[in-house]
Structure 1
Amino acid sequence: MGIDSPAFFHTFQSDISGLEKPSLFTFPFCYEPDELSRIAASELQDYLESQRDFVHNFGLRPMEGSPIGKMFGVLVVEREDGMLGYLAACSGKLAGRNEHRYLVPPIFDMLREDGFFLKEEEEINAINHRITSLEEDAGFAELKQRLIKLREEADSSLTAFRAYMKQQKAARKKARETQKPALSAEDYQVLETDLVKQSYRDQHEYAVLKNTWKEKLQDVEGQIHRRQSSIDELRELRKIKSSALQQRLFDQYQFLNARGETKSVLSIFEESKQLLPPAGAGECAAPKLLQYAYQHRLRPVSMAEFWWGVSPASEIRKHRHFYPACKSKCEPILAHMLKGLNVAPNPMLDNPAVNKELEILYEDSDIIVVNKPSEFLSVPGIHVSDSVYTRIAKHPDVSGPVIIHRLDMSTSGIMVLAKHKEAHKTIQDQFIKHTVFKRYTALLEGELHEHEGLIDLPLRVDLDDRPRQVVCYQYGKPAQTKFKVVALEKGNTRIHFFPLSGRTHQLRVHAAHHLGLGHPIVGDDLYGTRAHRLHLHAGYIQFKHPTTHQIVSFEVHDPF
């Protein structure tokens, strides 16, 4: 008697008889897809190109609405009888819904019409509408403007009366000075009594005027306060309802692992030292795939995720390219869900600089200039301490901060290092003032038809997927790069970059982003396609020597 397949178990349409199962499950945050995962991804992509199950604007052909690319995932699984197949999933909702014929369901479907989420969200939206109506009410706006005008009038009126009182006081003083010699003591006392009465009268009239304005202001302020109190009460109600809904939502996300253990999303993120799960935690493809596999006794074999559609405006995502799982949402969840599986080791724990020599190009009593190999850290990392810094800091005559500037681990080329504090400060000031001239050489995927130009795209870190950078005009830091094409080589472009700023991954993002050059650097595993190395090399630098004050330069030809 055969084993029934779960509803979303897909048998391979391709011949996989000659392929072996991977001995270790995919490490999801840094991987090269195995052949089974590639075939599964290809079959899912064939489905996406031909399906008629849903309509979604991926930006791949003219359609109404804004195009939205999506991340898809495949999980190769093994049934209890040993048959291999695969599951497919999409991160987040697709075409406005969560339920699809070909894709595994979400861990919790927030979009079910009979579910609590939409009903409670509707109540919160109704509160939002009431708040907006009260805030945008014409009468409320008029009261605020009236209060502003009244305060201006009150201030003007009281200021004018204080000026009048000052004039009267000066007049009384003059009267005392001029009349005292001419009057008898008795007559002067009568005058003094009258002047004092005038002073008291002025003070009384000022107090009456001040109180009149106070009453007028309090009347309008009271009307505004009553309306604002209604808004504040609604905001507090919204806060309570939103918090309760969020808590109830968190309770729906219970994640299984290969050992059969279940853990809530809240406990998972608490253990990872995060106060609350980020929005969308558990909605990515990887957790959906593993959850469905565990629920239906399917053994995970390998997995891969790829982007389908146009790139987002800020990120760099290439159609059909494979990507690792995101870290902020998925890393804590997958750390739990992968327990019980024999997972491939984290390659990021390995020292990429093992057996690599650090070539010294120049050295004197102030500086050391080195030629850093690719896949070699500039400074110690979280897991690997071996770096340019740790090696140079061991030199007996090095006492200073050492690192003046950095290169990405994957970038090769020239680094200038300081032997002591004074040299460090002098050269660092030149970097800050942008008087250091740097030239990088890169090989880009495809042929670039512009000859030269300037890329100006502000950058910030991707908070959901460090250390990736995104283009952000609101919060990004200014980043500018000049470029000049050197040659077209076998379908690729050799180019010189001249960075005018030094942001993390600046050249890589400026090369790959569609608002930049739109051509990733060959071998860029974050923004393009992985290869044996990143084809980016810091080949030339020029600066003023910290002691001789002479202009010095160093050059190393690119190794690719």
Structure 2
Amino acid sequence: MTVSFFQRFNHLIGMAAESTATPPAPPYLPPRGEPIVVFMDEHLIVLDKPSGLLSVPGRGLERADCLASRVHVRFADARIVHRLDMATSGLIVMARGAHMERALSIAFQQRQVEKCYEALVAGRPAQVEGDIHLPLITDWPRRPRQKVDPDTGKPSHTHFRVLAYDPGADVSRVALIPHTGRSHQLRVHLQAIGHPILGDELYAPDAAFQAAPRLMLHACRLCFAHPALGHRLELNSPPPF
């Protein structure tokens, strides 16, 4: 049987689509237990999210369990205003009620909230402190991955500072301040300068991924003006690694 040009073309397109398709997600096995409350009043709640727990429900009933759903059991008025990646641990704020949700959302959008993370990364950065300015965009054929794209990427800025270096393991502990809030920004920026975060299944090469049992990224500090009372809140959570 003769195969037409269009049949061959469609076959090649199908093969290309299969090669760039996003691999199936691994089973979702979130850690058990109630989230730790770091701060709470009648206006807001600050929690310490464990690695492996979604901030909000994912797709499908098997991914309905998340930080928001667990908090709602105790606080029905709690609402998410920002998120952390499932693999990232650390501080996350929930508003209590619609009015506070709007106020806190505006504070995050206008970058009035100071955020600091700590991470363990492969190697030793050449600079003790510096800034990463690399534009980011979704890598659509491999989403949810993001990528650096100088032509169409959105401006993205991360400040880093090396806190310690272990020469035996060739691992650095770094503090990270995201001045923009792009998806996976810290993970992509560190990988792009040659120092991927340990345990990062999306961006680290195999050796760095296998070097840790989880993504070694933790949201350790939040500072912002209390949207109802006006005083400055400074919340801290030491990294669990």
**Letter in structure 2 aligned against 1:493:** S
**What corresponds to 1:482 in structure 2?**
159
Which residue of 419, 426, 435 corresponds with 2:112?
Answer: 435
Give the corresponding residue for 2:72: 393
Alignment of 1:261-340 (within 5 A): 280-281=16-17, 284=19, 326-328=20-22
Give per-residue Cα distances to partners, 1:445-497, cap 9 Å, x unaligned.
11222111110111111111111111112222221101111111232111000
Check the 8 A contact 1:427/1:544 in 2, yes or no.
Answer: no
Displacement of 1:430 in angstroms is 1.2
1:481–1:497 contact (8 Å) kept in structure 2? yes
Conservation of the 8 A alpha-carbon contact between 1:356 and 1:373: no
Change (3 A) 1:447 1:454: same
Provide the C-alpha distance between the structure 2 equivalents of 1:539 and 1:549, rounded to a whole number of angstroms. 22
Query: Which stretches of structure 1, 4 residues or longer, exceed 2 Å deviation after superposition?
Result: 247-251, 277-282, 346-350, 393-397
**Cα separation, 2, equivalents of 1:412 and 1:354:** 12
What are the superposed Cα offsets for residues 189-245 of structure 1, whole Å, 9 maximum, x if unpaired? xxxxxxxxxxxxxxxxxxxxxxxxxxxxxxxxxxxxxxxxxxxxxxxxxxxxxxx95
Which residue of the partner structure matches residue 180 of structure 2?
501
Alignment partner of 1:361: what SS?
strand
Aligned residue number for residue 225 of structure 2: 544
Tell me the equivalent position of 2:195: 519
Structure 1 unaligned regions, length at least 5: 1-115, 117-243, 254-264, 266-276, 285-325, 332-345
Structure having the higher strand fraction is: 2
Which amino acid in the other structure matches residue 500 of structure 1?
Answer: H
- Over 3 Å counting, the alpha-carbon distance change for 1:464 and 1:367 in structure 2 is same
TM-score w.r.t. the length of structure 2 is 0.88
* 1:348 alignment partner AA: P
Residue in 2 aligned with 1:558?
Answer: 239
| Matched pairs, number | 230
Q: CA deviation at 1:279?
A: 8.0
Shift in Å at residue 542 of structure 1? Answer: 0.3
**Which residue of structure 2 aligns with residue 457 of structure 1?**
134
Paired amino acid for 2:91: I
Determine which structure has more spread, i.e. the larger CA radius of gyration. Answer: 1
What code does the residue aligned with 2:132 have? I
1:415-453 CA-to-partner distances (Å, cap 9, x unmatched) read 011111111111111111111101000011112221111
Query: 1:386 Cα shift?
Result: 0.7
Q: Aligned pair 1:533/2:227, yes or no?
A: no
Amino acid of the residue matched to residue 327 of structure 1? A
Superposition deviation, residue 249 in structure 1 = 2.2
Query: Could you tell me which of 7, 10, 24 is aligned with 1:248?
Result: 7
Report the 3-state secondary structure (helix = DSSP H, G, I; strand = E; otherwise coil) of the residue aligned with 1:393.
Answer: helix
Give me the whole-angstrom Cα distance separating, in 2, the residues matched to 1:357 and 1:389. 11
CA contact (8 A) 2:31 2:52 kept: no
For residues 278-324 of structure 1, what are the alpha-carbon distances to aligned partners after superposition, in whole Å with 9 as ceiling and x for unaligned? 78235x4xxxxxxxxxxxxxxxxxxxxxxxxxxxxxxxxxxxxxxxx
- Structure 2: where are the runs of 5+ without partners? none
Matched residues in 2 for 1:388 and 1:477: separation?
Answer: 29
Aligned twin of 2:26 = 348
Q: CA separation in 2, counterparts of 1:355 and 1:280?
A: 40
